[in-house]
Amino acid sequence: MPQAGEQDRMTHRLVDSPAGRTHVVEQGSGPLVLLVHGFPESWYSWRHQMPALAAAGYRAAAIDVRGYGRSSRPHAVEAYRMRELVADNAAVVEGLGERSAVIAGHDWGAPIAATSALLRPDVFRAVAMLSVPYTPPGGPRPSEVFAGMGGEEEFYVSYFQRPGRAEAEIEPDVRGWLAGIYAALSAGTMPGPDAPDPHFVSPGGTMRERFPAGGELPAWLSEADLDFYAGEFERTGLTGALNRYRNMDRDWEDLAEFRGAPVTQPSLFVGGAMDASTTWMSGAVKEFPTTLPGLSGAHILDGCGHWVQQERPGETNRLLTGWLASLPQQR
């Protein structure tokens, strides 16, 4: 690997966007690769990918999604609908002086990336999705689907819907809650198959009650890493991040014209074999020949949980850089 020069060091900037401003961290030069994180994370979740992308000849740009980190946090709940996030991504590409980009996303970042490719194929020429498979817009109203899950228990997405409710659980101890959710969804620290599922909340309960006891951090997460994430959310609060979940029905309405639409650009999927986001949506993976006709590969990593690019950075980097090298040269 070449020695890091000036252009290979991470640099921070704020770019004008419909959100107000979007915080972007860059490394390297070459074709632009826009990296979109999920919940509850930040640009920092791509810290292992950025040097690898830079070394491979790409300009890696990891954003804080609106509501997170140093990016703007609009007050209105509806400001976090999917179309707004797509507009932010397109504005970042333009603000960085580029006409097009490859976009990659993890967790919530995966559907944000896929929808960016769907709505703005003129800007996003290829898309990689980690953990959450692509499903075309449409189907039943999301709130009705989630309300029907879990029987007497409440699915976490439903739990997040009422403003202030999840915040009241998380914000008194941000660091402890983050450590719990990261451990609960990581290989090696997630609850066993006979333990209560942390994706569901018992009547009158909290998510925290289902997190692993003992406080052991997953192998991929150092105390310093946890300090970084906790510091970001202690400063910003959780409302902006949670507002993404509170717009799923609005997205369903906003994207009605794209119901059933495939993403036709070159694509890549990487998921963890122990990740509920991948296993619950295995049917979506089987539909990839129809929904992702430009798919190069769907890779399910054995022994991997939800935080794919942090749990398995080496494998993720090899898959991403190999896929990027296979794409047509940017014109």
Report how many helices (DSSP H) and strands (DSSP E) the chain contains, helices first.
15, 10
Q: Is 107 one of the catalytic residues?
A: yes
Q: What number of CA atoms fall less than 13 Å from residue 311's CA on the CB side?
A: 27
> In whole angstroms, what is the distance from residue 37 CA to residue 14 CA?
17
Within the chain, residue ranges assigned H as helices are 49-55, 82-95, 109-119, 142-147, 156-159, 165-170, 174-184, 223-236, 239-242, 248-254, 276-279, 282-286, 288-291, 308-311, 313-326
Q: Map residue 329 onto helix, strand or coil.
A: coil
Exposed (0-12), middle (13-18) or buried (19+): which is 97, by Cβ within 10 Å?
exposed
**Between β-strands 20-27 and 295-301, what pairing exists: parallel, antiparallel or unpaired?**
unpaired
**Amino acid present at 167:** E
157 CB contacts (<8 Å, ≥6 apart)? 142, 146, 245, 248
Q: What is the CA radius of gyration of the chain?
A: 19
**Between β-strands 124-130 and 267-272, what pairing exists: parallel, antiparallel or unpaired?**
parallel
Q: Is 251 one of the catalytic residues?
A: no
The active-site residue out of 64, 88, 107, 251 is 107
Active site residues: 107, 306
